[in-house]
Amino acid sequence: MDDLLLPSVATILDQRDETPDTRTLQLRFRDGERQDRFAFRPGQFLELSVFGLGEAPFCLASSPTRRESLEVTVRRTGRVTDGLHALGPGNEIGLRGPCGNGFDLDAAAGHDLLFVAGGIGLPPLRGLIWNVLDDRDRFGRVTILYGARTPTDLVYKDELKIWAARDDVEFRVTVDRGEPGWTGTVGLVPVLFETVELRPARTLAYVCGPPIMIKFVIQDLLARGFAEERVISTLERTMQCGVGKCNHCCIGHLFVCRDGPVFTYRQIREMVE
């Protein structure tokens, strides 16, 4: 039986600034054997800690098909994220996980997949997207719709170009507000629905982003004929333990950390609070 709350030590290998307040960290367990044994599903999350400051949950933003390191994308919002931004390559942090249920890739096999992300909502989907693209033959059409407030706020800018260039992916991007040099679409994410052809009956839609964006995107998807159980999202709550014991993240009798964070819209609609 494991000590549920005991972290392991991980080393920051590299870091990449995505936006002025958002950074992707590349991590590896200090114990190489632990790194090799580490298995996870996209959509699961890690509990990362800056020693002395505390611990917080972060979704795994990398794909399990790329095992050499783990990636998380961190926006500065509080004590622990400030602490993570203050560290750099070579520094050691605490790592626990993987936590949560993650996306069910086996159930997605054979389906068309639609990814709709807003702003910092792309990281939880990025691991899933690369997992799908690394195993491309198992899935039908792949469509990625991404929106952010401004071009500066787009994360993974290099990878967006790769997705845009692939002919087995439909990729569209929009921003709420353009900037000099931006020649792409301007508008909220739902405007992108008009630019792609969707087959709701055979598509699973993965939606992730700020609450207001999720709300409108899901309304739109339902209006376009998506069944509630074909719309999948991830929820966030304040968490402490990440393993279904401390009760901080409960919605009704469900633990976001344990029963989720991935839920279908049908499950979300039935939640009580």
Partner 1 sequence: MPPQDAVIIARADVPRWVAALCARAVVIAPTAGPLGDTVFSAIGSPGEILWDFENPLQPPKQFLLPQADPFVRIRRNNGHVTLEPVRDDGRRILFNVRNCDVSGFRYLQGVYARDLPDAAYARRADATALVSLACTRPCPLGFCVCCDAGPFLRAGFDLQLVPLRDDRLLVEIGSEKGRALLEGAGALFRAATPEDVAARETLEAAARRDFGTETCHFGSAMRRLSTRRVPQALWDAMGDWCLECGGCTHACPTCYCFSVSDRPCDGGWTRNRTWDSCQYEAFTLEASGHNPRQPKRSRMWRRFYHKASAQYYQRDGGVGCVGCGRCIKVCMGTTDMPAVVGAIRKGVWHG
Cα angle vertex 232, ends 229, 235, to 5°? 125
The reply on whether position 164 binds partner 1 by CB under 8 A is: no
Owner of token pair 């890739």: 105
Site residues for partner 1, window 22-41 (CB under 8 A)?
none
Q: List the structure tokens of 25.
A: 């960290």
The C-alpha atoms of residue 109 and residue 112 are separated, in whole angstroms, by 8
CB nearer to partner 1: give 44 or 63: 44
Would you call 140 helix, strand, or coil by DSSP?
coil
Report the residue from 101, 191, 248, 264 that binds partner 1 according to the rule CB under 8 A. 248
Tell me the closest approach of the beta carbon of residue 251 to partner 1, in angstroms.
8
Interface with partner 1 (CB under 8 A), residue from 14, 220, 228, 236: 236
Q: Is 252 in the site for partner 1 (CB under 8 A)?
A: yes
* Choice between 114 and 239, CB closer to partner 1: 239
Q: How far apart are CA 15 and CA 193, in angstroms?
A: 33
162 Cβ contact partners less than 8 Å away, ≥ 6 residues apart: none
Q: Is the peptide bond before 98 cis (omega within 30 degrees of 0)?
A: yes
Q: Is 178 an interacting residue with respect to partner 1 (CB under 8 A)?
A: no
Query: Which residue from 17, 152, 238, 269 is in contact with partner 1, where contact means CB under 8 A?
Result: 238
Do residues 170 and 139 touch, judged by C-beta distance below 8 A? no
Stretch that binds partner 1, among 107-115, 147-155, 197-205, 252-260 (CB under 8 A): 252-260
Amino acid at 248: H
Q: What is the DSSP string of 4-29?
A: TT--EEEEEEEEEEEETTEEEEEEEE
Can you spell out the DSSP letters for 220-258? HHHHTT--GGGEEEE-----SSSSSSS-TTEETTEETTT
Q: Decide: is 246 part of the binding site for partner 1 (CB under 8 A).
A: yes
CB of 255 to partner 1, least distance (A): 9
- The nearest distance, CB 53 to partner 1, in angstroms, is 7
**17, 68, 92, 270: residue in contact with partner 1 (rule CB under 8 A):** 92
- Total residues at interface with partner 1 (CB under 8 A): 42
Among 20, 32, 90, 180, binds partner 1 (CB under 8 A): 90
Task: Give, as ranges, the residues between 44 and 83 that touch partner 1 (CB under 8 A).
Answer: 49, 51-56, 77-79, 81
Which residues here bind partner 1, judged by CB under 8 A?
1-9, 49, 51-56, 77-79, 81, 90-92, 94, 236-238, 240-241, 243-248, 250-253, 258, 272-273
